[in-house]
Structure 1
Amino acid sequence: MASPPQTQQDDTGPAEVRRRRAEAAKQYQPSRVRLLLVAQAPPDADDRYFYFLDVAQHDWLFRAVARAILPHVELTRTNKASVLAQLRDRGIFLIDLKPDPVDGSDLSPYVPALLDRVAELEPERIILIKADVFRVAYPALAAAGLPVSQVRIPFPSSGRQREFAVAFGRALAGE
């Protein structure tokens, strides 16, 4: 899969980074979303994102999700496109509650837009990743009658990978 096109100028402002993220995610959006993962927000580093192919370090969420869903696939720095394609082919898609990196502000203002995006994607199941995402988004998604997991899942950052794997496994099993 080709890398997203590069712009001629070195414009790394928030709008350009948001565009690059959207373009990268679109390449791996399934035609039918079976499982929608909702994370908190993209990383604050402009070169890291779940759907970016050349993430040199701290690609925790991608690696943890891929390990849980594709346990027999070896993850390397060179096969991320292939793994993302396999996730897409299984109907798995990830979006963020907040479109830009977290800045300490309240996440609840982003829930109405999340409900709109979820309605547009029509997922069969929804898993929320990170305690604060669950806290602000679960009540609204459940009240809307959407198929959201009740399992609280921590972010798989350094030291929490095992905790993530157990909780994510429970959510995948339908708890």
Structure 2
Amino acid sequence: MTTATGARRLREASAAKYRPEVVELLLIAEAPPSSLDRYFYFEEVPEQDSLFRHVVRAVLAIEPSRAEKESELRSLADRGVFLIDLKPEPKEPGDNLEFYVPDLVARAAALTPRQIITIKANVCDLTQPALRAAGLDVVDQRVPFPGSGQQLRFLEAMGTALDSIGWRR
């Protein structure tokens, strides 16, 4: 088994542990980090866990704690929140992310989410039309990735998106 295959299996197993029975809110991000020790669903991420930490702030309205990540992941699952990536593998230079849209739409449809929020401008632009064409309910809001100084904009945009679907925080 290659390192990439092993890493993908570990990510899949970690996400499956927190997949809700009913997906109320599906979050779609771009791709998992290239670093093998970081991923949204890994319970122990000592640093650079920006997406997870800001999702917890926005969706659960609590301040995340690295020591409580497992509990916070369970709280997200209990609320019906699940996150998947447009590209299941880390992004590589020159990747054409449009190639992954049909597979993403199939994966999203299989989860039968009540609502979808896309994260990062290119993910919004690439996926929202195709997700809507598949009959999925996508929030019409551009939510930036919470990195590179975009953390406050992420929280504001995510708050607007959540308010638009009546999400109780």
Q: TM-score range by the shorter chain?
A: over 0.9
TM-score, normalised to structure 1, is 0.90
- Residues 56 and 63 of structure 2 are in contact (CA less than 8 Å); yes or no, is this contact kept in structure 1? no
Superposition RMSD in Å:
1.3
Partner of 1:153: 143
**Separation (CA, whole Å) in 2 of partners of 1:158 and 1:131:** 14
> 61, 65, 79: which is aligned to 2:55?
65
Q: What's 1:103 paired with? A: 92
Q: Tell me the amino acid that sits aligned with residue 162 of structure 1.
A: L
How many matched pairs?
A: 164
SS at 2:117 equivalent: strand
TM-score of the superposed pair, with normalisation by structure 2:
0.93
Shift of 1:87: 0.4
> Among residues 66, 69, 73, which one is paired with 1:77 in the alignment?
66
1: distance between equivalents of 2:41 and 2:164? Answer: 25
Unaligned runs of 5+ in 1: 1-10
Aligned CA distance change for structure 1 residues 128 and 103 (closer, same or farther; 3 Å): same
Q: Within the alignment, does 1:162 sit opposite 2:152 as a pair?
A: yes
Residues 129-148 of structure 1: CA deviation (Å, up to 9, x unaligned) = 00111111011011222100
Structure 2 regions of 5+ residues with no counterpart? none
Structure 1 residue ranges, 4+ long, deviating more than 3 angstroms after superposition: none
Shift of 1:12: 6.8
* 1:119-134 equivalences in 2 (<5 Å): 119-134=109-124
Aligned partner (choices 2, 7, 10) of residue 17 of structure 1:
7
Which amino acid in structure 2 is aligned with residue 99 of structure 1? P
**Can you list the C-alpha shifts for 1:109-151, whole angstroms capped at 9, x where unaligned?**
1111111111110000000000111111011011222100110
- Partner SS, residue 135 of structure 2: coil
